[in-house]
Structure 1
Amino acid sequence: MSTPKSTTVDVSRRALAKRAPLDAAAAQSLTALYKVLANPNRLRLLHAIERAGELPVGEIADEVGMSMQAVSNQLQRMTDQGILVARRDGNRSYYRIVDPCVPGLLELGICLIEENQRRSH
């Protein structure tokens, strides 16, 4: 019997195999996305936002132990990439993940880490 993790990987592998080869523009876009995600602080911000659904900058900063300015800078990069969207409510800006693939990508990454740790012990 396969586990949910292996089922997800199998489905993803089959879907990927059906796609056309990546052209240079698509590869460049994918590289830009991975560069934005390849930052420990941004990953922590995304995880905090995903867990809550939506958070204001101050609460995100408290959750990850960063200054509001540093959080705002990182959130802007992810907003520019189309991963997040912001809404204003008075003086507060609330952020939520709008790219439906990002939560699954985070979960898959965490799954990979846990699986590697399990195998190494």
Structure 2
Amino acid sequence: MSEVQGLDGCVQRLVHPHKVAMVRGQTPTASEIDRVSGLFKLLGDPTRARLLYALLEAGELCVCDLAAATGAAETTVSQALRLLKASGVVAGRRDGRNVFYRLSDAHVRMLLDITREHAAHEGASR
């Protein structure tokens, strides 16, 4: 066992000091943690999650189609898309007066697929 002084001045006993050192060396920076946390907050809203899964299934949809597919008001969809676009989760393509939205890249698709799979797994194990 080893001891280390914590940030609050308390001495903490370490059972696995080599693992603690490894974790400290591999921990994301504060800025990376802020971005990850912000992304999960963004995905944590049920309306935004429904919109993202609609885009995952359809590929590309305009605001009115997203509203119809998810049962949300067009103004709610527009506000959610503004946040999702600003965060880089969705991208838009203008075609005349319409803007068609899609997931920005394969990472977002993978995150949604894995999250759905995990939720189904958690639900089945309860």
For the pair 1:79 / 2:85, whether they are aligned, the reply is: yes
Aligned-partner Cα distance in 1 for 2:109–2:49:
10
The answer to which structure has the higher strand fraction is: 2
The CA deviation string for residues 60-113 of structure 1, in whole angstroms up to 9 with x for no partner, is: 000001111110100010000011111111121100111321111111111112
Pair member with larger Rg: 2
Structure 2: unaligned runs, 5 residues or longer: 1-22
Provide the residue aligned with 2:61 in structure 1: 55
Provide the residue aligned with 2:120 in structure 1: 114
Given candidates 33, 38, 42, the residue that maps to 2:44 is 38
Percent identical pairs in the alignment equals: 30
* RMSD over equivalenced CA pairs, Å: 1.6
Provide TM-score, normalisation by structure 2. Answer: 0.76
What's the CA shift for 1:116?
1.7
The ranges of structure 1 where at least 4 consecutive aligned residues each deviate by more than 3 angstroms after the TM superposition are none
Question: Relative contact order (alpha carbons < 8 A, sep ≥ 6): 1 or 2 greater?
Answer: 1
What's the CA shift for 1:119?
1.5
Aligned-partner Cα distance in 2 for 1:91–1:34:
32
Aligned-partner Cα distance in 1 for 2:89–2:36:
13
Structure 1: unaligned runs, 5 residues or longer: 1-16
Aligned-partner Cα distance in 2 for 1:33–1:118:
26
